[in-house]
Structure 1
Amino acid sequence: MLARLQNIYAMELSLLQSLIRIPSIFPNETALAQWLYDYLRDAGWNARKQSVGEHRFNVLAEKGNASRAVMLYGHLDTVPVYGEWDTPPFELTERGDQLFGLGATDMKGGIFVILEAIKSLPERLDKTIKLAFCVDEENDSLGAYALSRDPFLQNVALVLVPEICDAFPRKAGAISVGLGRRGRVGISLAVPGISAHGANPERGVNAIHEAYKVIAALDAMPLISHEKLGQSTQFIQEIHARSGSLSLPDLCEVYLSRLLVLPETPDDALRDVQEHLDRLYAQGILTPQRGKRVLATLAERETPYYHPYITDKRLPIIQRLLQRVQAFGEVCVGYGRSVADENIFGGINQIPTITLGPQGGNEHTANEWVSKQSLEERIAIYRDLIKHLELE
């Protein structure tokens, strides 16, 4: 028995090693995308490339011709190499149950789960199986937004994503199933000041000092909460100000990141922030500078911001999925605190979307790892869902 498991691990880990060895730090996912495209074509899948700007593409593939489909989804890109690693980030390093490498848990481990799960497809399928591997999740989700507008999704009844699951509540030892995520918006704040010579700062108003007041006011701003998604939160992500000479800066730009809960939308959050600032002016806490007030706008980006979403646990297809997953262990249903491409499929396309990924740690920092045992467990779950989950 031990020898058999060791052989399985050796076979599986060679595939994961291949994924880890191909750098795919956004926006440079092309080598990995091409590798996956070739791999799937060689395995008999009907695969195509979906262009996402110059030299970038998603990989879409399918098998079967049933009227309803389940889509397995993964993102191709990783973050850069952050911090000081104890192991080579582009080599899979095994230490006990932990497998180290850049993207091991976010989310090349999840791609690996998909590739292993589809190896044992039956010859006759009662559903169409679709695969989508997209670029740019760690940035602005250009790949997922391109997919959201493609007819490829028209007959998809369920999206399964073996992504890291930061869902709450959590329970030690339980299988975490994510049924939703908070949304996100970026808000730019232009904080005015009055320029003056640095030798006589009392003659002006330093925009940076004014920004301190705005930041303190935003920290104290009341935010709404949701029974499943938790508290809406916000934080200052960037501050920028400068003057071209020995002068007080007359403008400080502040970037506010806000994580949204239902029923908030990005436009709601923008209006909420602007109204809060207006109240501070009315109370005299903030003062206009030569008639200018703080201006809040949605920060520019290439794609729309993420809306929060929840997949209804009462849907028959979700009830059937949870019953099948429960055969593998105790299940803990939760809701993600961060955003991911699932927000697009669940929020924009309104497709039931589930996050069910392997366990790991240190994503977005040094020594990222994924649990070898959890990979094996998730592969078994995905194989079962592909073969036995009824979509209708």
Structure 2
Amino acid sequence: MSLPSFLEMYKSLIAQPSISAIDKRLDQSNKAVINTLAAWCSDLGFTVEITELESVPGKFNLLAKRDPLNSAHTAGGLMLAGHTDTVPYDDARWNSDPFTLSQKDNKLFGLGSIDMKGFFAFVLEAIKTLEHKNQKAPILLLATADEETTMAGAQQIAKHQQLKPDHCVIGEPTDMVPVFTHKGHMSSAIRITGRSGHSSDPERGLNAIEIMQQVITKLLHLKEELKNKYSIEHFAVPHPTLNLGHIHGGDNANRICGCCELHIDIRPLPGLSIIELQQMLLAATHSINEQYPGSVDVIDLHDPIPAFHGQPDSGLVKLAEKISGQRAIAVNYCTEAPFLQQLGCETIVMGPGSIQQAHQPDEHLAMEKIKPSQKMITDLINKCCFEDKQKASS
């Protein structure tokens, strides 16, 4: 069986739904996408390992490896990594079927076209054009599950004791600009438990909305503290951010509110640990909890994602800058990089498509970007895995 064309690979990946969602009614397995990638990797001479996630049954990682000919079980090499899941979609806001790759106005539309199923088509197309007999270092392809929710796939692969690549490129949509560092992500619920009662006698209850007002004041002070205390100039937004994103409380105007919940989002900088941030959040609410014992709970909405701290002068960054013609940058969103970096490899984020299209209706890839992106990905694989090291570094 020969590998399909680039567009046929793209079409096939988009056609297989693999939505990750906290809402179990929307959540789907990624097994079909994994099986498809496994078949294509096998056709290119890769050894394929498919592993079900321990924490999320029904979701799967794929790790495919191809060693140089006559050099079995070699270490090092380049790992090309991406996630196989997508976010949910709003059918009413899409102008085409999200699971049918469609072409219009010189754009390729489809859910996952840039975030980030399409990356696998670029990688496999590149490998197809490079002759195995000329390969000098291992090529690894990693396809993970649940990046859009828990990042459980990347967290599980980070524990793989035999996996030791030299370099890792995560193909999130950066318009092929290398990313060497990014912020983390922490979402928390602040839940106030008061005591409901009839509004005509306020002293017989404990109004959770009034307590929440005090908590919000503390959080806004914490927001300013984070802004004034921490800063890294590489980032467009140089300080950690704290966003009050969602609030709900009470059920009727004539009842004392017995429960109120606020959801917040914090984006820590590299160097600001999740543990330190959690302690700051608890400290901000401590005095209120002392005043109203047991009224304030701080709950993680998902496992926090640490910031990714790469080096702007690493060999992989310099190579990616040379190939792309772009200086490496820092970004405010987060990826699987901090987990995959735990494997001990130089790591960057760099892939086709614009982050402005991620998580948007009518997600698409501009077709004029296909050829230059394909050349950069091919050149990167060629430099890392096919050229002699002395030649590649000269």
Secondary structure of the corresponding residue to residue 153 of structure 1: coil
Q: 2:16 matched to 1:22? A: yes
Q: 2:85 matched to 1:77? A: yes
For the 8 Å contact 1:198–1:247, the answer to whether it is kept is: yes
Match of 2:234 among 210, 228, 233: 228
Q: CA RMSD in A?
A: 2.7
Written as runs of structure 1 = structure 2, the 5 A alignment for 1:161-200 is 161-165=170-174, 175-200=176-201
In the other structure, the counterpart of 1:60 is 63
For the 8 Å contact 1:178–1:355, the answer to whether it is kept is: yes
Distance in 2 (CA, whole Å) between partners of 1:287 and 1:76 is: 42
In the other structure, the counterpart of 1:113 is 122
Distance in 1 (CA, whole Å) between partners of 2:282 and 2:57 is: 37
Distance in 2 (CA, whole Å) between partners of 1:357 and 1:199 is: 60
- Deviation of 1:294 after TM superposition, in Å, equals 3.1
In the other structure, the counterpart of 1:47 is 48
In the other structure, the counterpart of 1:320 is 319
Secondary structure of the corresponding residue to residue 191 of structure 1: strand
For the 8 Å contact 1:233–1:260, the answer to whether it is kept is: yes
Written as runs of structure 1 = structure 2, the 5 A alignment for 1:245-284 is 247-278=255-286, 281=287
1:273-313 per-position Cα deviation (integer Å, ceiling 9, x unaligned): 222334xx4xxxx686544453435x164xx4221122112
Distance in 2 (CA, whole Å) between partners of 1:236 and 1:182 is: 18
In the other structure, the counterpart of 1:336 is 331
Distance in 1 (CA, whole Å) between partners of 2:343 and 2:241 is: 25
Q: Which runs of 5+ in 2 are unaligned?
A: 21-27
- CA distance 1:187–1:234, shift in 2 (3 Å): same
Match of 1:294 among 278, 290, 296: 296
Distance in 2 (CA, whole Å) between partners of 1:290 and 1:162 is: 48
In the other structure, the counterpart of 1:209 is 210
Secondary structure of the corresponding residue to residue 320 of structure 1: helix
- Deviation of 1:25 after TM superposition, in Å, equals 0.9
Match of 2:161 among 134, 146, 151: 151
Distance in 2 (CA, whole Å) between partners of 1:363 and 1:319 is: 26
In the other structure, the counterpart of 1:305 is 304
For the 8 Å contact 1:109–1:375, the answer to whether it is kept is: no
For the 8 Å contact 1:192–1:289, the answer to whether it is kept is: no
In the other structure, the counterpart of 1:169 is none
Distance in 2 (CA, whole Å) between partners of 1:345 and 1:22 is: 25
Distance in 1 (CA, whole Å) between partners of 2:374 and 2:327 is: 18
1:223-266 per-position Cα deviation (integer Å, ceiling 9, x unaligned): 12222242211223443445799742333233322111021111
Distance in 2 (CA, whole Å) between partners of 1:112 and 1:231 is: 36
For the 8 Å contact 2:166–2:344, the answer to whether it is kept is: no
In the other structure, the counterpart of 2:367 is 372
Distance in 2 (CA, whole Å) between partners of 1:67 and 1:287 is: 53
- Deviation of 1:152 after TM superposition, in Å, equals 4.6
Report percent identity of matched pairs: 23
Aligned residues: 360
TM-score of the aligned structures, taking structure 1 as reference length: 0.83
- CA distance 1:101–1:134, shift in 2 (3 Å): same
Distance in 2 (CA, whole Å) between partners of 1:287 and 1:386 is: 55
In the other structure, the counterpart of 2:345 is 351
Distance in 1 (CA, whole Å) between partners of 2:83 and 2:199 is: 50
Which residue identity is paired with 1:54? P
In the other structure, the counterpart of 1:91 is 100
Which residue identity is paired with 2:266? R
- Deviation of 1:46 after TM superposition, in Å, equals 0.8
For the 8 Å contact 2:309–2:338, the answer to whether it is kept is: no
In the other structure, the counterpart of 1:141 is 151
1:38-62 per-position Cα deviation (integer Å, ceiling 9, x unaligned): 2222332111211114222111101
- CA distance 1:322–1:34, shift in 2 (3 Å): same
Secondary structure of the corresponding residue to residue 62 of structure 1: strand
- CA distance 1:296–1:54, shift in 2 (3 Å): closer
Distance in 1 (CA, whole Å) between partners of 2:365 and 2:89 is: 16
- Deviation of 1:218 after TM superposition, in Å, equals 1.7
In the other structure, the counterpart of 1:362 is 357
- CA distance 1:151–1:373, shift in 2 (3 Å): farther
For the 8 Å contact 2:31–2:60, the answer to whether it is kept is: yes
Q: Which runs of 5+ in 1 are unaligned?
A: 1-9, 166-173
Distance in 2 (CA, whole Å) between partners of 1:125 and 1:13 is: 25
For the 8 Å contact 2:61–2:144, the answer to whether it is kept is: yes
